[in-house]
Structure 1
Amino acid sequence: MLQQMRSGAASWIAKGLMVLLVLSFGAWGVADYIRNFNTGGDVAKVGDQAITQAEFSESWRREVSTMQRRFGPNFNAEQARQLGLDETVLNRMVEDKLYEQAARDMGISISEKDVRDAIMNAPAFRDPSGQFNRLAFESYLRNEGYSEGMLVAVLRGDLARTRLLGSLFGTVTGAPQLMTYTMLGYRLERRLAEYVVIDAAKLPPPAVPADDKIEDYYKANPKAFTAPERRDLSWFTLTPEDLAAKTEVSDAELHDEYEANKQAYETPEKRTVEQVVFTTEAEAKAAYEAVQKGEDFLAMAARTQKLKPADVSLGSVTKADLPAAIATPIFALAPNTVSQPVRSPFGWHLARVTAVQPGSTKTFDQAKAELHEQIALRKAGDAMVKLRAKIDDQIAGGAMLDEIAKTDGATVKTVANIDAGGKDKAGKPTADLPQSRDFLTQAFDMADNSEPQIVDLAGGGLAVVKATGITPAAVRPLAEVKDDVVKALLQRARATAAQDKAKEIADAVRGGGDLARLAAAAGAVVQLSPPLLRSGQPADRNVSPVLVSALFGAKAVGDVVTGPATTPGGAVVARLSGIQPADPADLAKQTDAVSQQLGGGMAQDLVQEYRQVLQAEYGVKIDATARARAAGL
């Protein structure tokens, strides 16, 4: 979500550079500069700035919390260290300090308005009407472990870094033409093939596998025959809409809301307008007089300005849609009359109104229900923040799920024996589960009968869920899955037979055999592919990506390759029959996009070099002991 906020404040060039920067810094790190030093306990010294143990500890805590949400509450700091996340966090903090100092030395500053605009314009913090949603913002702060001030500081640094890189490398917008054409020529080359599909069903059927083969395959592939973990869940949901239905709204509040937003309930008058614009007043007057004498308005437009009816029409417009100089005269005209010449910065106008759609105002009584819903939802959104904190306290106090639901007027729902995808034993999706990507993830991360957990829902709602029973994943008994094992073995045997037949035909063709005759003997026919790109497009239903790759790996026309068919168990023999260079028209269409893409790679190289320059210029020293102490390791 923070990345969405960052991206909303940057150009495409700067955004691309930021992504490349993070990747390059993560890859190279700061290993060359790591050494213990006497900093009074600071984890690192970057130029004239220190990364204190407190700063690192807070970033480390947030990183571990993020991983716990992803992998479950049992994920701990030691596991994070084993994954190298302590170094990742520190590298990121060093990166921030390097670019913060570089931006400062170049005189780049970020105003309060810049930060505020980035937050207000973040799509993740907007409600369906496009307005800033304070509830969503606070939910993000809570989930990520930020205070509002901390988030502002992080975002200020990100915006400064974006401007810095944009100012340095924003001109790298494309690759040289020769490089672009070479890449496109490779990408857009097409190849044709004549091929034969070996259908395993037309080959002699394989023998039924012996019991020892069945048991061996079963033991070698336990995952294929493992029943997934299943859980019994209990939960309830609360949404702003639930609270809004119980929220009282006074008449005074309704009237205040109506007056504050009265314009939203007014539908302005609309007029269908035609106009002709002249350079001089004399031309406009002469045209006006001609219309007054009986000439049709459209005929006058065609005669004087060579305008077609579509060129004359402004369509249905409101007064606000028109330039101020002509809006009042046009909206004073009676229908089907022509205005006197009117001057605007664009010239002299003659206008005709052909239809009038009167304006209207929705009265307070007509808008009352809508006003009530708006105010109630707004109040409910504020109440949800307090309600979530209250439920947190109830959970911490040991309250049971039923008790929490009862005090908040919610209904507990239950479901039994569902897997992590929300499906029952028959493989059918379970109805009524909360529509949240995190609901099942958190529910399946919980220990059996652990305390309930809160899951944030879209739109500011929440669910409180508890795992009430767990059936662990287990390999199903052989007797139960024997038919499935036999089926898998027979499929594998058919696929192997098809592959062997394809290789046999390929060897014969390479030795001078006739492809069509060999295909007929195998119950198949020779087919022709469309021109294929390396991407496999345009698609051929019989040509798999593996076969396309083999065809593009062939050295010359006439080479024979084999590969799997797109249908399960089949195989294909293909002979390269043609190589087509890139179409000049396709080259022209894609040149700009590919040039920009390659330019991004060039920018990555420049960013990597710039980072190394900054490390050398400012100096980076890291105290591994202080880092371990701050991380509690």
Structure 2
Amino acid sequence: MAKRDTTDKPKGKSKLSNILVLVLLGVLLLGLGGYGVTGFNTQVRSVGNVGETPIDAATYHGLLRQRMDQVTQQTGEAMTFAEAEQMGLAQAVLQQVVSTAALQETARRADLSVGDAEVARRIAQVPAFQGMNGEFDRDAYRDILDRSGRTVAGFEESVRREAAADLLQRALLNGLTPPAIYGETLLGYVGEARSVSWAAIPETLLEAQPEAPTEEEVQAWYEANADQFTLPERKQITYAWLSAEMMLDQVELSDADLRAGYEARSAEFSRPERRMVDRLGFADLDAAQAALEAIEAGETSFDALIADRGLAEGDVDLGTITRGVLTPEAGEAVFALEDTGIAGPVMSAVGPALFRVNAIMTAQETSFEEALPQLREEMALARAAELIRGEIDPLDDELAGGATLEDLAADTPMQTGTVTWDGETVPSDDPAAQPEFMNAAAAATEGDFPEITTTESGLVFALRVDAVLPSELRPLEEVRAEAEEGAAAQKRADALAALGDTLKSRLDAGEDFAALGLEPQSRDGLTRQAPAFDLPGPVLQTLYDLEAGETAVATGPEGAWLLRVDGVTPPDMTTADARAALEQVRQETTMAVADDILNQLAREETQKDGLDLNQTALTAIHNALR
């Protein structure tokens, strides 16, 4: 990688601007194909300009492809451009190259530049341009640029711009270091350890159980928790659908068809005996025989022999096999066992071996008559699915010709249904429960023409939005039972909180938990950095707001708790770990502040000089990545 000049630069500053570092990554990508413009027009030089500075097209293409490849490596699934666009990756990369161009434009207007020697030094450090001896290879340099559709002059000018922007970055950020007290304060906050005692306040300590909530209290609770009873925007949808089961009456299967299906699946209906087998090879038959005798004498085991070899179970596992998989001699020995156990030693495909039979699956023979019910059902469904596929184009044609969903239900085997769709609740009936239906319903609006859609499960449907219902609060009478239950729970919580305040006063006055009729629990060493999630949630949320000796009542839907912070221990800032953490905070804070400064500068430059994007060039690059 081409390295930045870090002379007199504080440690960590080479990472201060991800934006400018990405430009150097773009230079590296040239040697790896990142600047290879196969896939989009080789005449495309930029995707736009900030002021008079072009936004390099090859850099954008290379960086976006690199980011997509990184996601692919992380997830194990190839990322498509459509996915990159959907998750905002393409926009993020575009913003990065725009910001880079903005910083370069700032440097240009400030008359910042570097000489030919610095440009040459940076180019010579790119591995792709070096020969076998590690020295700069001019022929390779020109060849790579030529194959990527770039000129030497144009490329060197882009390096010069990047170096000038780097110079601007160093001038802006030199000496940027947060005060030491910032890191110490932050580490002190997250590292201080607390000892806490807490106890649940049981309802049995209440002098009387709270009375049932009044109508006014139910109404007040309902209004305070209106979000729980507010329906989202919904769509009234009519749909027509067709499944394989609905086409079964149009399927005819002859005896010949069924017998042909039986023969085609003979391996399924006629299974030979199979066994789950492990195989362990030896140098010779004598060694294998000695191992068998040691196993029989109880001196070792098959698993111990595997472990002694440094092998794993997968190294010896043959899986579930039939006799034909083994050599004749091994097959005879393994399948002669009447129960699980060890067979051998015998010669095998890997030489002398012992075999361990872990399970026996007897042969299964299903006659045509026995298989007939299953055959008939499955073959009929498969044939019905074929009929549905043949109906898709005619159904589409009818819709295109002006037919309604009701017309389709009247003239074809399709059926209609309705659903109130809110985008959250998944209906239980087909096809509204299908993912494809959910996607189509989300995209559909009033006035859209219905279209035939096929689901992965094989059914087809078309839908129409009849009306869009606005978000609304459900009337109290519809949710009265829930509101009454919630109001009652609130009264219990309020009563426990009031009792907790009384108990807190007594605890503050010197009484202990036991004297209050409570059963306390204690925990030491609790920090914000490593919270104890097994504590009651309200206790965990409250204890870090308290100093040593302070008490509080924590309440939540599950009840109320009385707690006391028994001690607060600040972190030891003199340890090696603390010093390392302080340095890390210093570096990360420096980089974060620097990024903010550079990003703000880039935004102001873009607003001042204007951003002009070439949508045609962007489309060409995006098409190359699809």
TM class by smaller structure: 0.3 to 0.5
Q: TM-score, normalised by structure 2?
A: 0.46
Q: Which has the higher contact order (CA 8 A, sep 6+)?
A: 1
Q: TM-score, normalised by structure 1?
A: 0.46
